[in-house]
Amino acid sequence: MQLNLEQFGGTLSEARGETTIRLPREKLLDACRHLKNECGFVMLTDIAGVDNYSEHPRFEVVYHLYSFTRRCWLRLKVGVPEDDLEVDSVTHLWRTADWHEREAFDMYGIRFRNHPDLKRILMWDGYPYYPLRKDFPLAGMDAELRDAEAGAGKAEAAPMHGGPFVAGPGERPSSRREPRQYDTTAEQQEKLK
């Protein structure tokens, strides 16, 4: 794929037939405008937040674009440091970005500058956490519900029984090491005796 990247400071890589461009976030809007208007990437299919816990920058925003004229996909990646979680919104270029950006905000806390209506879509307003961050516990965290004054109470951590785990490799068979079988560590230790 022939794309002029020098003006945007991007780096191109290809793996398994997929093309990825890494961009500095200050060049995102210019690059997206160019890709849409000059290169034919008129369809934005997805925007995803990524938490690369313990790396710098910790977060990424990934954009998946499609060109009907070129008949190809393109992935853009923009690094976002933890101490400055803000990226320019692309909703004025692709209207579908609206809900994708809101989801990344809701789940990771990444803010999108100039978004027309940046608010949570899955969690309630005022929820203090971001559930898809890697440091968010699998069982969840206690939090006041937004209608607590109306007697709604509070959200409590979920029991671990049937939780969304994947056990690490080990010497024992998976049926004896799967953490999702037990609600508490004590219950797990008791059944493993």
User: pLDDT tens across 20-58, in order?
Assistant: 999 999 999 999 999 999 999 999 999 999 999 989 999
Separation CA 175–CA 50 (nearest Å):
31
CB-CB neighbours of 139 under 10 Å: 12
CB-CB neighbours of 31 under 10 Å: 22
Q: What is the dihedral of CA 63, 117, 104, 78, to 10 degrees?
A: 40
Least confident of 80-84, 127-131, 140-144, 149-153: 149-153
CATH 3.30.460.80 fits 1-122, yes or no: yes
Separation CA 61–CA 47 (nearest Å):
7
Percent share of the chain, pLDDT over 90: 57
On average, the pLDDT of the chain sits at: 83
The pLDDT confidence band at residue 172, using thresholds 50, 70 and 90, is: low
pLDDT at residue 150 above 60?
no
Positions of CATH 3.30.460.80 in the chain: 1-122
Mean pLDDT of 4-26: 88
pLDDT the model gives residue 180: 47
Name the DSSP letter for residue 27. G
pLDDT the model gives residue 136: 86
The pLDDT confidence band at residue 140, using thresholds 50, 70 and 90, is: confident
The residue written with tokens 């977060």 in the block is: 59
pLDDT at residue 178 above 60?
no
pTM of the shown model = 0.76
Least confident of 70-84, 99-113, 117-131, 169-183: 169-183
Percent share of the chain, pLDDT over 70: 73
pLDDT at residue 154 above 70?
no
pLDDT the model gives residue 133: 93
